[in-house]
Structure 1
Amino acid sequence: MAANKKQPSPLASLLAELRTLTDRIAAAEAGEDPRAVKKLRLGLEQVTAQLKNVTHKLDPVLRPESIFDPTDPNTSGRVVALTLVAQTKHPLSKIPEFYGAGVYAIYYRGNFGPYASLKGMDHPIYVGKADPDNQAAKDAVSQGTKLSARLNEHAKSIRSAGTTLDINDFDCRFLIVQTGFQKSAEDYLINFFKPIWNSETKICFGLGKHGDSSETRVNKRSPWDTMHPGRKWADATTENQKAPETIVEQIGAHLAKHRPYADIHEIFERFTEDMHQLNLDHFYTPAHGSVELEEAAAPAGDATS
C-alpha cells in the first residue's frame, strides 16, 4: 500500500494561489487613467507591505532592538566624554600654549561658600569645547591653539575675580579630539554633569561672555559676574540679571538635587548605566514581541545574603 502523501499546509496552498495571482497581475493592463493607475499602485504597495509583515512573522530568529553604531554622534560623544574624565588634572593657572581643539572640564576645590558641595569631589564646575580654526583640520597643528587659548581665557576671568575666587583653587582636564567630535562630547558632558557655571543649567552662567559693552547695548550683569565681580566691562553694568541671594539659593537647590560625583568610580558606574539603557542586548521576534535572554549567574562572591 502506497504511503499517504503529506498534505500541504493551508499557507502553502495559499502561497501557490498567490504565485498564480501574481503572474496574472503582472500580465494585466493597468489602463491609461492616471488616477486609476495611482490607486492601483498604492493598493499593490499596501498588499506588498502586508505580505512582508507575514514573512517577518514566519522568521523565528531573534532580532536586536538596536545596533551599536560607533559613528553615531551620541555614541561618540559618550566615548569622548568618558575619555576626558580619565585624563590627568592640571592646574588651570599653568596651562601652556599648545596646538589642538577639543573639550575640557574645570574643577573647583576652594572655600567659596556656595560651592562647598564641590570641594573634594570629582565634579566639574564648568565644561566646554574649543572649536578648531579650520573646520577641515585633520591634525592638532591645523586646529590651531584654540583649546589652550580657551582655558587661559577662563583663567584670566577667574584671576579678575580675585575678591571671591583664587585661580590656585582651580584644576582642569582637557582632551584634544579629532575635528567634528567636540560638540557632541560637550553636549553629553553638560547633560551628564549639569555644571553650575554652564549656561544650559541656567544658574550661575556668564563665565564665557566676551566683554559686553554697557554703552553700546543694554545688558544686565551675568549671574557669574554678580557672584564674582572683577571683570571691568561687567562691573560697568549696574543691573544684575539675578539677585545674589537668588543665585545662591539656586546653586544650593541644584547641587542638592544633582549630587556631585565623588570620584571616577561613581562616574564610570553612571556611564555604564547610561550605556545599558541603550537596549543593545534586547531582542524580539515579529510574531512574539520582546524576548528576554537569560542573564549569567553572578559569581559566588558577589551574592548578597
Structure 2
Amino acid sequence: MSGAGPFNPLDMTNLAHSIVTRMIESTPTPLDSVPVFTGAGLYAIYYTGPFPAYELLAEKNRDGAFEEPIYVGKAVPAGGRRGLDVATHSNTRALSSRIRQHAGSVRAATNLDIADFAARWLVVEDIWIALGESALLRRHRPVWNAVVDGFGNHDPGAGRRNGVRSRWDTLHPGRPWAENFPQRPESQADIEQDVVEYLRSRL
C-alpha cells in the first residue's frame, strides 16, 4: 500500500487481530455441550433464539453464521488477576469452568433457552488474554457487555450484597441469589427498549 510503513507482525494491533481471527475461525459449540478442558483464555457467546429484543442480533447468528456475540469475556488462571504465582495451562480449567458457569446462568433464566446459545473459545498464553479480550470488545461491543450488565456476576454471598439487582437479572430473572438484591428502578420493558435501540445503532 503506497505510503504505508513496513508491516510489523509484532505490533499490538496485529497481534490482537491474529488472536481474534484464530478464535472466530473455530467451530461454535452448543453452550449446553461445552466440555471440561484445561487452559485459560478468551471466549465469545452467541445467541440465535426468539427473544424479541435480540432479534437483530439473532439474525446475524442464525444458519451457522455466528457473526455477532452477545457476550465476550476472558478467564485467567487462579492468582492471575492479582499478579501472584498462577496455575499453568496444564493444570487450570479456568476457561471451561467460566463458560460452563455462564451456561448455568442461562439455564436458570426463565425467559431464555440454552439451546439457543453457542460458544467459541481460544486457549491463549496468559500474557495475551487481556489483549485478545480488549480486541473482541472493541470489534463487537456485545450487548451483554455494553448495555445489559451483570451476566458475568457471581453470588457475592450474604453480607456482601450491595446495590440493586443487575440489568441482566432484571431482564432475565431466574438466578436464585439475584432475588436477594432490591429491584431496580427501571423495568424489563425499559431495558428491552435500550437493547433494541442499541442493536439498531450497531447492526
Taking structure 2 as the reference length, what is the TM-score of the superposition? 0.86
The one of the two structures with greater contact order (alpha-carbon pairs below 8 A, sep at least 6) is 2
Partner of 1:94: 33
Q: Which residue of 2 aligns with 1:147?
A: 95
Tell me the equivalent position of 1:107.
46
- Number of residues paired by the alignment? 192
| Alpha carbons 2:77, 2:88 under 8 Å: kept | no
Secondary structure, aligned partner of 1:116: helix
Q: Judge which range, 102-111 or 72-81, deviates more.
A: 72-81
Q: Distance in 2 between matches of 1:241 and 1:184?
A: 35
Taking only aligned residues, the RMSD between alpha carbons, in angstroms, comes to: 2.3
Please name the residue that 1:128 is paired with.
Answer: 73
* Structure 2: distance between partners of 1:137 and 1:86: 28
Look up the match of 2:124. 177
1:157 is matched with which residue: 97, 105, 121?
A: 105
Instruction: Give the Cα–Cα distance (whole angstroms) in 1 for the partners of residues 96 and 139 of structure 2.
Output: 23
Equivalent position SS for 2:96: helix
Q: 2:113 aligns with which of 166, 177, 193?
A: 166
The letter for the 2-side match of 1:80 is I
The offset of 1:196, in angstroms, is 0.3
Q: In the aligned structure 2, how far is the partner of 1:130 from the partner of 1:187?
A: 13
Preserved contact between residue 74 and residue 184 of structure 1 (Cα < 8 Å): no
Gaps of 5+ in 2: 61-66
| Alignment pair present for 1:191 and 2:138 | yes
Distance of 1:193 and 1:157 partners within structure 2: 22
Match of 2:155?
211
How far apart, in 1, do the equivalents of 2:117 and 2:89 lie?
25
Which aligned segments of 4 or more residues in structure 1 are displaced greater than 4 angstroms? 64-67, 134-139
Q: Secondary structure at the match of 1:87?
A: coil
Pair 1:241–1:88, CA change in 2 (3 A) = farther
Identity %: 35
**1:80-91 correspondence runs (5 A):** 80-91=19-30
Unaligned runs of 5+ in 1: 1-63, 260-305
> What does residue 9 of structure 2 align with?
70
